[in-house]
Amino acid sequence: MKRIVPALLAMTLLGTSGAAMAQAWSRLADTSLARQEIYPTVLDGKIYVAGGILTAAPGFTDLFESYDAATDRWTRLAPLPEGRHHIALAAAGGRIYGIGGFSGAIPDWRAHASVFVYDPKSGRWSNGPSLPQARAEGVVATSGDRIYFIGGRIPTSAGARHIGEHADTSRAEALDVRSGRWERIADAPSARNSAAGAVIGDKIYVVGGRQMVAQADGRSRPVNVATLEVYDPATNRWETRAPMPLAQGGLAAAAHGGKLYVFGGEQFVPQAKVFGESWVYDPALDRWSALPAMATPRHGHGAAVVGQRIYLMGGGERVGVAASAVHEALAMPVR
């Protein structure tokens, strides 16, 4: 039995949104395993999720599963060739690409350049064209026959095996799935990790996230950013648009109806907290408005769109490593 969660109606920047008043969160079938730091994709109407961080040992997983919105059921599929967390999924050419990510339980993280390719017809994984450099916690998006990997964290030394041995990057690359080759594109204006992104039209929107910033005590801490940057593949150029109303890192994003929707996240500085705030950005107006707050505030969760709903699965309900199996959806207004 699916239950409707009463929507917390927030005020928009210019007043109460009529669209928001018509929206509500619904609780769906939980994922088969509680996990966070997942980057799902959609292929042929199904949502796919791979890897993730676990609360218990060994701290990460090779689990790969799909969700059928028509039946509200999760199905376990062939596991990843190797366990990963922060592995980013992208669908292109009828296949699913699992790109980069970390292995290891915190704090012993190791970034990878590996790319795994899943064929839904055979139900098998194969090796794809590796990233030019090991990377994780970036934004991955598909536009046409190209998969884009933007920002994230890269190792600061050969063989880096600790979370502190990785640095934020503005590096951006594109994989042509027809030729199987990666190509450098214009770097993003900002170096950041744990951002979110989506494709609207032919442009890629990258929003939120965090940067490692030196504090007064000399230690570097993750500080959230509200920046919204837009990449145009046709011109290989970036532009900066209106920032989010709140700086949220570890958030999730999805595109629907020509608008950008972003949800949740966490913050470490100045105080630790998990966000339930959700927002919608209208590119035509360069303006943000509030949405109903998440029924279950989370970070490190995944977002995906099927039909007239945005689905949010997994994540952490507390700051840090605290995996969840919660799965909820926000109904989009019918236009």
pLDDT at 335: 65
Per-residue pLDDT band at 214 (split at 50, 70, 90): confident
Provide the token pair at 277: 């705030």
Which residues does residue 278 pair with via DSSP β-bridges, in sequence order?
263
Q: Per DSSP, which regions of 190-286 are E strands?
A: 196-200, 203-207, 210-214, 220-224, 228-232, 237-241, 252-256, 259-267, 273-282
In this structure, how many other beta carbons lie within 10 angstroms of the beta carbon of residue 244? 21
Complete DSSP assignment for 57-68: TTSBB--EEEEE
Burial class (CB in 10 A: 0-12, 13-18, 19+), 159: exposed
Provide the token pair at 302: 């995944």
Burial class (CB in 10 A: 0-12, 13-18, 19+), 23: middle
Per-residue pLDDT band at 159 (split at 50, 70, 90): confident
Residues 4-331, CATH architecture: 6 Propeller (2.120)
Given a contact cutoff of 8 angstroms between Cβ atoms, the answer to whether 225 and 209 are in contact is yes
37: left (phi over 0), alpha (psi -120 to 50) or beta: left
pLDDT at 219: 83
Q: What is the pLDDT of residues 83-108, one digit of tens each?
A: 999 999 999 999 999 999 999 999 99
Given a contact cutoff of 8 angstroms between Cβ atoms, the answer to whether 151 and 195 are in contact is yes
Q: What is the pLDDT of residues 29-79, one digit of tens each?
A: 999 999 999 999 999 999 999 999 999 989 999 999 999 999 999 999 999
Rounded distance between C-alpha atoms, residue 217 and residue 314, angstroms: 34
Q: How is the chain split into domains, by residue range? A: 4-331
DSSP 6: P
Which residues does residue 75 pair with via DSSP β-bridges, in sequence order?
66
Inform me whether the pLDDT recorded for 307 exceeds 90. yes
For range 303-332, the mean pLDDT:
96
Q: What sign does the dihedral 27-287-19-41 (CA atoms) show? A: negative
More confident residue, 312 or 57: 312
